[in-house]
Structure 1
Amino acid sequence: MTAQHIAPSYSAGVAIRAALSDARIEGAVLINDDDLSHGPIDSVALHRNQFRWMVSYVDVHDEHSNHTGWLPADDLRNTLSANAEARPILWVSRTSAQEVIFQLHFASLATDFPWSAIDVSDVRGDGSSDRPSHGSAGSSAAESVAASHPSGLRSLFGTEQPVSRHDVEEMVERWSKLQADNAPLRVLTDDGLLSVSADYFDRALIEHTSPTAPTPMARVIADTMGSQQFPVADHVLHRRLITLVENGTMTAEGPPLNMGSCRISRARR
C-alpha cells in the first residue's frame, strides 16, 4: 500500500522525495506549488491563480526515475477520496506560517477522507528529537519541512499520526476565518497564525537598512529574516522591499527585482 505524501512547498517536496529515495521507500509526493501565507486567498483568488499540485513518483527499482505530472486542485479531493488506500500523509512544521496555512487549506479540501500528519517541529536536522526553543543558540533544528535535511525526514517515516475529525473541523474553521479576512499577509505570532497588513515587516526592513550607505538588498533580507521570532520567506520580504522602493520609502541602486545586485538606502526626508 503506497502512501501519498503531501508536501507544503516545492522545496519540501524535493526533500521528502530525496528522503523516500534514500530510504528505498516507494511513494507519491503531491507538492503544493503556492505560498498561501501572502496575497489574497479568497475563492476568487484561488481560482484565478489556478492552484494546482505537482505529483512526483518515487520508484525504488529505478533510482533515476523522475515521473512527474500536474493535478488541478479541483481534482485533488476526488482523487484522494476515491482511493481508500491512498493514505495521505501531510508534512508540516508548526513554526512555519507557510506550512501552517497550507495545513489549514488542505484540511478544507480533505474533509471526506481520513489523513495523517507528520510534524517536523521537534526534529533537528540530523533526525534527533527534543527540539530546543526557537532561536536558542546552537540550535540545529529545522524551522520547516522545506529547510529539513532528508536524513532528518527519513527518520520520521512511520511516525505519522491520524488527524481527528475534531481537529479537522477546527482547522477548517480557522481557514475560513483567514480566508474571510483575505489579508495581504498571514504570519505566526505567540497568539498563533494571524492576518496582518502589508506593512507588517516594514519597521524591521527599515531598521536593517543602513541610514548612511547603500545596503545590499540581500543583506537587508537576510538580517531581517534572522531577527524574526518565527521564520519568514525571503520572497515575502523581497516583494515588500520592491514596494518600499516604488512608494519612495527606499531608494535603489540597480534593479530591485534582482536582490543579488541591488543596493538600497533609506530615502532622505
Structure 2
Amino acid sequence: MTCAIETVHVAYGISRADAIRDALRMEGCTERVVALPATLSHGPIDPPDPDTRQAWVRTVLRCAPDDDWREPEEPWAEATTADVYPVYWVCLTDAGEHACFLEFAFRMAVRPFDIVDATGLDFVTRDGVRSPWSLGLMRPEDIVTSGLRERRRPYSEAEAHAASATWARLRAENAPLRIVRDGCLVSAPLTHFDAALVAQGRPEWEIVAGLIGRALHHLSFEVDPPGQGVGDVVLFGRVLALGAEGALDVRGAGPGMRDYEVRLPAIRPHPDRIPG
C-alpha cells in the first residue's frame, strides 16, 4: 500500500512562516508550514555548520558569549525528507530569504518541489499599491488579497540545477556576507555596510541601538535595491569594529547594543578611508 505524500509549505524565518500559515488557514488550507531558521546571508556556509557559525558570530561580530546563535537542523530535515512534497515560499529580493532558498534547493538535490515566488509582486491595498521586497513585509491578509498562492508552480529541473550551482559557488567563496545585486545573490566583504553606518551617525552621543535602527531603515527602504537582509547582529558587530578603527566613537561596558553609546568622531576620517 502506497502512503500519500504530505504537502508541506516551507519559508525562511518563524514570522514569515506564521504569516503564511495564517493566510493558508484564512483560505481553508490546513497543510503544515515549516520555518527554516538559518540566516545564511552572513557567516560561514561551507558547510553551514551551526557550531562553526556560532563561533564566527562570537569572534567576528563580537556578540556576548552567553548568546546562542546556533540554528537547529531539525526543520531542514522536516522540509527536505523524501516523505513530503515541499512548497517553498520566497521573495528573492531579500538576501536572507534568497540565501535560505538556495541552501534548500541545494539540499533537495534536484528532487521536485513547488515554488511560490513573490519577487516583483504588486498588489492593491486600501493604502495604495504595494511592492514588497520581502515576505517579511506581508501580513496574512496581504498574502490572501494579493493572490500570492496562485503563483505556485513546479520548480523546473533546469532551475534546480542552476540554483544548486549558484549555491555551490557561494559556498566555495564562503564570504562573510551575501547581498542581492541585479536579482542575484553575490558575495560581499564584511565591511560592505560600514559606509551606511557612518553616514547614519550623529555628532552627539546616543545608544548604539538608535544608530542601528536608522541604518536598518535606510537599508530596507531608502537604497536601491532595498532590503539586503542584514540584521542588527551584523551591524552591531560592525559598529564595534568601526569604533576600534576610529571611524566612530564608541563607549560602554557592553555586552549588548543598549549598553554602548556611539557618536561621530570630532575629527572624521576621510570618506576614502571608510571601508565598504
The worse-fitting range, judged by mean Cα deviation, of 175-184 and 238-247 is 238-247
- Check if 1:214 corresponds to 2:205: yes
Once the two structures are aligned, what percentage of the paired residues are identical?
A: 24
> TM (normalized to structure 2)?
0.74
Report the secondary structure of 1:91's partner residue: strand
> TM (normalized to structure 1)?
0.76
The aligned counterpart of 1:10 is 14
TM-fit CA distance, 1:194: 1.1
The aligned counterpart of 2:43 is 39
The aligned counterpart of 1:231 is 227
CA change 1:127–1:177 in 2 (3 A) is farther
Determine if contact 1:127/1:153 at 8 Å carries over to the other structure. no
Taking the aligned partners of 1:108 and 1:32, their CA distance within structure 2 comes to: 14
The aligned counterpart of 2:59 is none
Taking the aligned partners of 2:48 and 2:140, their CA distance within structure 1 comes to: 36
- Check if 1:28 corresponds to 2:28: no
Higher RCO, Cα 8 Å, sep 6+: 2
Q: Over residues 97-142 of structure 1, what are the superposed CA-to-partner deviations in whole Å (9 max), with x where a residue is unaligned?
A: 11111111111111252101111123346579xxxxxxxxx76222
Which of the two has greater helix per residue? 2
Taking the aligned partners of 2:125 and 2:158, their CA distance within structure 1 comes to: 30
AA at the equivalent of 1:36 = L
Q: Over residues 150-187 of structure 1, what are the superposed CA-to-partner deviations in whole Å (9 max), with x where a residue is unaligned?
A: 11223323431101111100000000000001001001
TM-fit CA distance, 1:89: 0.6
What is the number of equivalent residue pairs in this alignment?
Answer: 237
TM-fit CA distance, 1:94: 1.8
Report the secondary structure of 2:40's partner residue: coil
TM-fit CA distance, 1:91: 0.7
Taking the aligned partners of 1:260 and 1:22, their CA distance within structure 2 comes to: 39
AA at the equivalent of 1:23 = E
Determine if contact 1:88/1:115 at 8 Å carries over to the other structure. yes
- Please, which runs of 5 or more residues in structure 1 have no aligned partner? 54-70, 129-137
- Check if 1:156 corresponds to 2:148: yes
Q: Over residues 55-85 of structure 1, what are the superposed CA-to-partner deviations in whole Å (9 max), with x where a residue is unaligned?
A: xxxxxxxxxxxxxxxx2645653x2x2x2xx
CA change 1:52–1:158 in 2 (3 A) is farther
CA change 1:160–1:44 in 2 (3 A) is closer
CA change 1:264–1:124 in 2 (3 A) is farther
Taking the aligned partners of 1:220 and 1:159, their CA distance within structure 2 comes to: 33
TM-fit CA distance, 1:208: 1.5
Q: Over residues 15-45 of structure 1, what are the superposed CA-to-partner deviations in whole Å (9 max), with x where a residue is unaligned?
A: 1122122222101111111100001111163
The worse-fitting range, judged by mean Cα deviation, of 185-194 and 88-97 is 185-194
CA change 1:209–1:139 in 2 (3 A) is farther
Alignment of 1:75-224 (within 5 A): 76-77=79-80, 79=81, 81=82, 83=83, 86-111=84-109, 113-124=111-122, 140-154=130-144, 155-190=147-182, 192-210=184-202, 212-215=203-206, 216-217=210-211, 218-224=213-219
TM-fit CA distance, 1:148: 1.0
Q: CA RMSD in A?
A: 2.8
Taking the aligned partners of 2:44 and 2:141, their CA distance within structure 1 comes to: 35
Determine if contact 2:123/2:129 at 8 Å carries over to the other structure. no
TM-fit CA distance, 1:14: 1.6
